Structure 1
Amino acid sequence: MAGNNIAPLKGLVLCGGQSARMQENKSRISYHGIPQWQYLADLLASFELETYLSCRTDQQTDFDHYPRLIPDNVPYGGPSAGLLSAHLLQPDTAWLVLACDLPLISRQSLEILVRERDAAQSATAFISPVNDLPEPLIAIWEPAGLRALQQSVESGKNCPRKTLLNTNIRLLHNPYAAEQYNANTPEEKATAMKQVTDQSLRP
């Protein structure tokens, strides 16, 4: 979208989940030969985006060598804490957000988000192939969308997806929708590992 008031776009990797169902830290799983947080950060940086890691305050020492860290700084839990802590730090920034439970996501999906970004909307997001709802954690959140999330959370509705459903957003069909696969359990991790291995063996 053309215009002079488009918010600068930066990258944000959400690493602050408790990983209870996975039984290990999802951000540290090595699907691609490096920790997942590093894979996602490198992916975002490949678009020349200044990229940040979001984490809980008790995780800071896990990432203290990373130059751009945003510890949770709001009285909320879940992914909203990471999104709103980033918004609090840089309220005029738009964020290309990736959750750390996305082992199959690649540049080809993100290219679509970046290319099709509509900065006049609250967010640009993919449609989930599972439930046809917006994917809030593979999305570009504009400042207006994050302000709406702040209002929702303050009213007791701590759900980024519901915020997207109640604001004006650009929804995209991803031709590579399989890359939106979430791995949150050991079984899903094993499935993702096999797919990554199979892809690496293809000629």
Structure 2
Amino acid sequence: MTGNNIAPLKGLVLCGGQSTRMQENKSRISYHGMPQWRYLADLLTSFKLETYLSCRKDQQTDFDHYSRLISDSVPYGGPSAGLLSAHQAQPDSAWLVLACDLPLISRQSLEILVRERDAEQSATAFISPVNDLPEPLIAIWEPAGLRALWQNVEAGKNCPRKTLLNTHIRLLHNPYATEQYNANTPEEKAVALKQVTGQSLRP
């Protein structure tokens, strides 16, 4: 895939989770003086990306009239629902994807993904500092990767990471790997808030 054949890159913030462990809506937590969904959307928009929020249909009024929403349109659960709904809506687009549970992510990490994107692979992703596996929800998914995810989900394999492990991807070490921290519980939220207090992570 070269030249004009490269899929246009767009932004996608995944907001459709149930937030069961956090006991509150993760997309609405304020780490940076605004709801987390807004922080992440602004971060992606700062790269001049047309940026969408992925959400459940019952969430459509939760985002302060944000104009670009993609509600779940496929009969699957988990983050795959958001990824595949975006792919269904715009099958020729690539997506720079961020989960809403990333309170420490900043522009410096995303600059690496954008700069090192390999559109000939199924995805460009960071290595997780926790388990050395690909990070599927801080990644650029190409159309080929999303087609592979669709095939796997239809076969009962509803795991974006396993799709990345079984396709050709560009895997990157992030020198700012602490920014890949996930906050999914009240305890992890407290840790993240302490980290943010001493940092300037504006887009």
Q: Compute the TM-score of the two structures, normalised by the length of structure 1.
A: 0.97
Q: Which residue of 1 aligns with 2:81?
A: 81
Q: Secondary structure at the match of 1:4?
A: helix
Q: Which residue of 2 aligns with 1:24?
A: 24
- Report the alpha carbon displacement of residue 64 of structure 1 after superposing the two structures with TM: 5.9
Q: Secondary structure at the match of 1:13?
A: strand
- AA partner of residue 165 (structure 2): L
- AA partner of residue 148 (structure 1): A
Distance 1:157 1:64 in 2: 34
- Report the alpha carbon displacement of residue 91 of structure 1 after superposing the two structures with TM: 0.2
Q: Secondary structure at the match of 2:62?
A: helix
Superposition map of 1:161-180 within 5 A: 161-180=161-180
- AA partner of residue 83 (structure 1): L
- Report the alpha carbon displacement of residue 11 of structure 1 after superposing the two structures with TM: 0.1
- AA partner of residue 38 (structure 1): R
- Report the alpha carbon displacement of residue 131 of structure 1 after superposing the two structures with TM: 0.1
CA RMSD of aligned residues (A): 0.9
Q: Compute the TM-score of the two structures, normalised by the length of structure 2.
A: 0.97
Deviations 1:122-170 (A, max 9, x none): 0000000000000000000000000000000000000000000000000
Deviations 1:46-65 (A, max 9, x none): 00000000001111111260
Superposition map of 1:104-123 within 5 A: 104-123=104-123
Which ranges of 4 or more aligned residues in structure 1 deviate by more than 6 Å? none
Q: Secondary structure at the match of 1:61?
A: coil
Distance 2:140 2:107 in 1: 15
- Report the alpha carbon displacement of residue 67 of structure 1 after superposing the two structures with TM: 0.6
Residue ranges of structure 1 left out of the alignment (5+ in a row):
none
Q: Which residue of 1 aligns with 2:192?
A: 192
Q: Which residue of 2 aligns with 1:5?
A: 5
Deviations 1:83-125 (A, max 9, x none): 0000000000000000000000000000000000000000000
Q: Which residue of 2 aligns with 1:131?
A: 131
Residue ranges of structure 2 left out of the alignment (5+ in a row):
none
**Residue 150 in 1 paired to residue 144 in 2?**
no
- AA partner of residue 124 (structure 2): T
Distance 2:14 2:103 in 1: 13
